[in-house]
Structure 1
Amino acid sequence: MSIRSVAEAVYAKRLRGKLSHIPSHVAIIQDGNRRFAKSRGMDTGYGHRLGADTSEKVLDWMGELGIRHVTFFAFSTENFRRPEEEKVELHQLFMDTFSKLMTDERVYRNEINVTMIGDRSLLDDELLQIIEETEVATKDHSRFFVHIAIAYGGRNEIVATAKKIVAAVRDGSIPVSQITPELVTKNMYQGISMPPVDLIIRTANDRRTSNFLPWMANGNEAAVCFCTPTWPEFRYVDMLRALRVYDERMSELSA
């Protein structure tokens, strides 16, 4: 182990020891895969694959840190405008990711429940099948939860939920008097239950939240951490630094 690695491990241990508040739900915008690849003269697929490796590491970090819910922003509705070659690469990467999750021993040892949020009508049957098989295989897990946002757009989610509730009001199954924030939340995300977002992390130093979980994050006044490393470069110590942002906010609120 190099001197730098030892120093980083010591620093990480110190950071972890100072955290008094751990978020229940962390939402991550995994940005910078393409920039990382370009900076090294590689194709975009290289960056996306290394980014997927970082996402796998989070499975271990969740257990170590006690973060029960993590939502990854893997592919937005706007991403459908990307070049065809890149979309094909991402499609295969998603296929591989869900296949691995279905057989990953960590998923079963740590009882990780895996779900997808997003517009399933925009996915092809092949990908949708492997996603649903993974959801079925992990549906009884209730210790940790990984939500993967694919074909997701926050405003689209709110509009779709509004249409669903309006239809229910029209057919008489929901009276107008029962429309509450809790009812809206219950009707979002295809009925997938998740708590409000406590912390949003965006990598690659891009300072925007890109229409990600606006109802669950903005409504909860989630803390936001914009960090410099691209997603393939994101390390455990970077996760701890992001958690420090949340910890400092919670400490201020409780002061």
Structure 2
Amino acid sequence: MAADRRLPWWLRWTCAIFRAGEVPRHVAFIMDGNRRYARQLGVELQAGHTAGFDKLEQVLEWCLELGVEAVTVFAFSIDNFRRPAAEVDALMSLARDKFAHFQAHESLIQRYGMRLQIVGDLHLVPPAVLAEMERAVALTRTHTGPLLNVCFAYTAQHELLHATRAIVAATRAGELDVDEIDEHAISRAMPSNVAPDGQQVPAVDLLVRTSGERRLSNFLLWQAAGARLAFLDVLWPALSAWSFFAVLIQFQLSQPAVASAAWRDRECVRSSGCCS
């Protein structure tokens, strides 16, 4: 399904330049700072969360224009259920509305033919929200575009527990030998690592967290083992394309081929006598 060209020309042009280099196949986001953003503006917390969703759609479009194959977002932690009931109820209402929006023909998911997957302890999700999630996922089953993993009612510990139980069950059923339990088997048992079509999701190449926090907060602890981490001081709803592009520049500079070329250039300069 072809996407509409809704990005401004300068942003498409910038993305085309980045595509000349190595683009991360899988980018993950900890979308932190919605509540602080609302407080800074003196508005209701719900307005901050709404702005956060709008930013997600914007960032998704940047990633899609860059050619990113998979995006995983930390939408709602299991720990977030400990927040005041009124805030949790408002967040669930927003989630229900936004998953309903994903089903619309003009939504980003539909325009780009994205595959949608929800990962987490969905038993904790209110039935009305879960129903919209399931409808949104069902509408993307025939899609072949990039993957959006939404981690909802999620923690990495819960996902690891799920994987462990699945492996134990497989060994008891005789489907998996103990000697076959390795990193690949564990990865395959993690829901966020397997796309709806059963294919393995690329490893996380780049993980971005906004709001100035320098921690992973129980998000993709296994999958992000080899990822480049970027911690930005900007709040999630205020994230700009230029801040994201600065992260991409650092990502591309960190790639082995680029780093090796830079080292060779420095050595060449030294050997030519241009450096003291």
More helix by percentage: 1
Structure 2 equivalent of residue 248 of structure 1: 253
Hey, what does 2:244 align to over in structure 1? 239
- How far apart are residue 15 of structure 1 and its match? 8.3
1:119–1:151 CA contact under 8 A, matched in 2: yes
Pair 119,11 (structure 1): closer, same or farther in 2 beyond 3 Å = closer
Aligned to 1:176: 178
Partner amino acid for 2:146? F
Cross-structure match for 2:269: none
Which residue of 1 is the match for residue 4 of structure 2?
none
Measured after TM superposition, the shift of residue 169 of structure 1 is: 1.0
Q: Distance in 1 between matches of 2:254 and 2:121?
A: 33
1:115-137 CA-to-partner distances (Å, cap 9, x unmatched) read 11111111122111111111110
Q: Mark the structure with the bigger radius of gyration.
A: 2
Identity score, percent:
32
Q: Aligned AA for 2:76?
A: F
Residue by residue over 1:50-82, the C-alpha shift from the partner in whole angstroms, topping out at 9 and shown as x without a partner, is: 011101112321221111111110111111111
2:210 to 198, 203, 206: 203
Match of 1:130 among 126, 129, 132: 132
Shift of 1:245: 2.4
SS at match of 2:103: helix
Partner residue of 1:151? 153
| Distance 1:160-1:15 versus aligned 2 partners, 3 A rule | closer
Superposition TM-score, scaled by structure 1 size = 0.89
Q: Which runs of 5+ in 1 are unaligned?
A: 1-8
- Counterpart residue identity of residue 17, structure 2: G
Give runs of ≥4 in structure 1 deviating > 6 Å. Answer: 9-12
TM-score, structure 2 normalization:
0.82
* Residue matched to 2:104: 103
Partner of 1:4: none
Q: Which residue of 1 aligns with 2:142?
A: 140
Report whether the alignment pairs 1:213 with 2:220. yes
8 Å contact 1:16–1:240 — kept in the other structure?
no
Tell me how far 1:16 sits from its aligned partner.
6.4
Instruction: Work out which structure has the larger RCO, using CA pairs closer than 8 Å and 6 or more positions apart in sequence.
Output: 1
- Name the CA shift for 1:180/1:35 in 2 (closer, same or farther; >3 Å): same
How many residues matched? Answer: 245
Unaligned segments of structure 2, at least 5 residues: 1-8, 196-200, 261-276
